[in-house]
Copies of this chain bind each other. A is one copy, B any other.
Amino acid sequence: MHTFVLNINMQKRITIKDIAFELNVHHSTVSRALRNDQRVKEETRELILNYAREHDYQTNMNALQLRGKTNNTIALIVPNINHNFFSDIVSKLTNLGYANGYVISVFQTNEKYQLEREIINTIIKYNFAGVIVSIAKDTLQCDHFALLKKYAIPLVFFDRICEDILTPKVKINNFEITAEITEYLIKKGYKKIVHLTGTTNINVFRDRQNGYESMIRNYEMEYKNSLQVSDDFTVEVGKDIFMKLWRQSPRPDAIISSSVHLTIGILVEARSLGVQIPKDLGIITFGRIVSSEIIEPQITFIDQQESEIAQLSFELLVKMIRHEIQLGESIEKIVRSQIIYKSSC
């Protein structure tokens, strides 16, 4: 015999059966009343609804889903939310979700493949209605996303994507825009342009590198330096990189930075060394610096159209959830990013 000690706070949650018992009806009647089935008499419906309201009845989603009902929860997976690119998208998506009756649940991988995998498993286990993902830098293998498809959970990639998974994707024109700014710098007279980017395992950074290199080739520049930063994109890392670059010979005379945080690090050290921008060093960065207006000189940057990315991703996912788009379909939307010209080059 086993004695069970009930925690004094432990409240059994009120169920449809409890209501049925109290009101002397069958629980199926309660269920129908709550779901506004016409088959239940006005009078009893009122009774049931009132009781439910008074006792704060909440549907048990676990039971509901077990019955095979779909739900309204969307998972959003991002590498991190410290960077404005992602936090802007999270914000926008939260609002879109709310306006359309979905609840957005945000997961952060911190750029870790392992955590990403675990999150995907959790999503499957809990049977989310859909997933919107931008993958971690660590992610070389995409099996876990294939798993999602196996379990028939709609999936949309944005920005950082897995090429080999057939599913809707939203990207920006990384190749073209990077080629464009590289050309812009060349035409401005810069000769030694460094391209600062992430691991080329990720489409975003690979495309940017290719865009940079293609233009360097076009203009037959003799200086070519596409630097892949494997560390996290932090201000500190930006400082380190700049110091190393500046000690090199020949020194670069322009930098294209893939990340705002790196850019800030560069600016800090440049200032401390008295490096003049844009005279000694030209700079263009992906993404807006929050305090851009009080930085002298203001930095030319690439507006990544976060809002549009969020909008498109959301629309695609909802269509998948509604079966208006098939599960294996591979739609690719390209968002055109824009150069915002300031005075840093």
Contact = CB atoms under 8 A, between A and B. Distances in A.
A271 B296 CA distance: 11
Interface stretch (A20-28, A43-51, A133-141, A286-294): A286-294
B294 A151 contact: no
Q: Which of under 10, 10 to 19, 20 to 34, or 35 or more describes the interface residues of A?
A: 35 or more
Contacts of A150: 11, 56
B10 A152 contact: yes
A104 B268 CA distance: 34
A335 interface: no
A189 interface: no
A125 B62 CA distance: 8
A103 B107 contact: yes
Interface of A: 7-11, 13, 56, 58-63, 65-66, 73, 80-82, 84, 87-88, 90-91, 94-95, 98, 103-108, 110, 112, 115, 118-119, 121-122, 124-127, 147, 149-152, 235, 261, 264, 267-268, 271, 289-291, 293-296, 323, 326-328
20 contacts: A8-B326, A9-B152, A9-B327, A58-B125, A59-B125, A62-B66, A62-B127, A81-B106, A91-B110, A94-B107, A98-B115, A98-B118, A103-B118, A105-B105, A106-B106, A264-B291, A267-B291, A267-B294, A268-B293, A291-B295
Given A11-B150, A235-B290, 11 more contacts: A9-B328, A13-B152, A56-B147, A58-B124, A62-B126, A81-B91, A82-B84, A90-B108, A98-B118, A105-B106, A261-B290
